Structure 1
Amino acid sequence: MTSESINRTKRTMAIVLTMLMLTMGLSQAASVSTYSNGQSQAIVELDDSSNYLDSTSGSILLPEGETVNAAAMVVGTQYLEYDNYDRYDAHSTGLGSYLWDPQYNGGFTLYSTSNDFSVQDETLALQSLGYNQDFESPVPFTVGPAVNGFQENNWERGMTESGFPIPKCGSGDWCYGTDFDSMNYRNEIGSYTYELTTDSIYVWGGKSQASFQSMHNLYYRNAPSSSFYYEDCAYVMVQSSTDGSSWGAFEFLPFDQSNTTGVSNGNGMYTRGTSVNQITTKCNKYSFPTGATMIGGTSNNSQTASNAGWATVGLDLSSYE
């Protein structure tokens, strides 16, 4: 009897718990689809919106205790046009020739180097006497002789296409290269010379530091003991003139390695000689100084990886001032 009574009690509790759980589930699933007026939505109107409207951000802040479950913003189709400009010149500001000088205009102008600009004249001009060219527009450079019978096979100005034949130009969209149609500039057609001659540049006193960007992968061949022979090379030659008309012979210009980044001697640059890991004497168009350092091998390394293999090579033109 006792055992049977206990079993009945357990069954009764189980039924009660099951009904309770079922009732709770039905209560959670219930929702209100209409309001007392029979509508499925309620509209909250702010009669005095100026109390709540933030005209700067367009937001509306309700007083504490009020709640909005949903809101809509109506955007008008009309538009407003704003037109305003301020004129700054030597006369309208009263600063005269000091208009561009940050010491007098409250720091209104900012320069990388103020000495490079005419900051104490009524008109602003660049007076750094520098020279810059990134080939975005055609330049009066002269390319060398025809290669394999075609003049266009020498240096050419071009753009990369979807990362071919190089990932990108060093600056801007255009650059000079030896071949924009092939990954192999040699093309197995024998020895020849790529030449690119710039227009004349006047070297001002104190403005003799120059540089150019180079992304190169010049031919080299294996030598014993994990060494190499660098048979193709690149270098800079200069002509000088004191009157701009009588020009001397081309002279070898050493690289300014103190102002070179991305490549160095033994890494994208090598000395010319007869040993392994040097520029070979096959690079012999001119008479070069003993131990001259030239561009060879590749500029692709960990130092230039962030710039797609482009290095900056320095030149010292102080002897031509």
Structure 2
Amino acid sequence: MRRGARAAIAAMAVCALTALSACGGSSDEGGGGGKGGETRTITGTFTGDVSGVPKNPKRIVALWRTGTELAELGVVPVATLKGEFLSDELAPEVYAKVKDVPTVGGFDGVNVEEVIKAKPDLIVGMDNGGLSIDYKELQEIAPTVIFKIAEPPDVWTNYPKLADVLGRTTDYAQRNAALDKDLAAIKTEHAAQIGGLKAVSVGVFGGKTFVDTSKSLTYRRLTAAGFGYMDAYATNPARYRVELPSEKLSDLSGADVIFYDATIAGKPSPGTDKLLDMASFKRLPAARAGNVFPLTMGTVYTFDAAGRAVADMRKAAGSLKDVGR
């Protein structure tokens, strides 16, 4: 255990053993997991059952994959990880509320001393087993609830679980059902245009081009809207995306439609604009036919982004051209 964490735990012990008002007694003081309020146990998390979780947390530290969902739920955490709140992923009015939230690390590690300074009464996050975060150490600071995920669709289905642990109500079930209905409507309304076509979705991350696979949220939504998908990326993929070296862009020649990652403002995601400008990309059949369309990123886990993605798919379905094979 780090020295700072031990100091914080010792301070909490002193508070528990004395009646000094200086120690504080409300969850607003942080560092104690809901003192002065009702608590509960959250079961089946990434680290097992977590007790002492405040029913109405006030000071929340948001770890991996929780940022956009918290922002949409109207929760402004006291600290978060780098990259959890991005202007490319949140509407301007929402981003304005969270843009100044301090960071306490990234997915590759958390600064425990900074977490202690944030005085949380709850720490939340998600993990696929690949993060370098010591949750036991964080648990000694405040109740730490980490939800299990494997791929992006799991982050989406964790939305109502996250809302619940935050003490927030959400109409997730109704809104998600409405989303599914909208996707099905595209399939029905544009069956003649999209029936039998093969689509694919691409994006650029860290300067590398990736193709979404059948383990992605993007694939799930595209196929629900009636688009077919390239078999090479739909059959037993290892992860939700696969890297595609620039010299192998010709592998996308079998796609009738190409979608590219777009920001919440409808612009190509950072780096994707360079991909679209590549001569080898422009030579692809889908590009020559004009069947290249923006699609709001499937790694933005909000209903706002989902609604924009539906609109993107509907517009694309109504604009398709014959690839002339």
Common fold: TM-score over 0.5: no
Name the larger-Rg structure: 1
Larger RCO, structure (CA 8 Å, separation 6 or more):
2
Higher strand fraction: Structure 1 or Structure 2?
A: 2
State the TM-score bracket (shorter-chain normalisation).
Answer: under 0.3
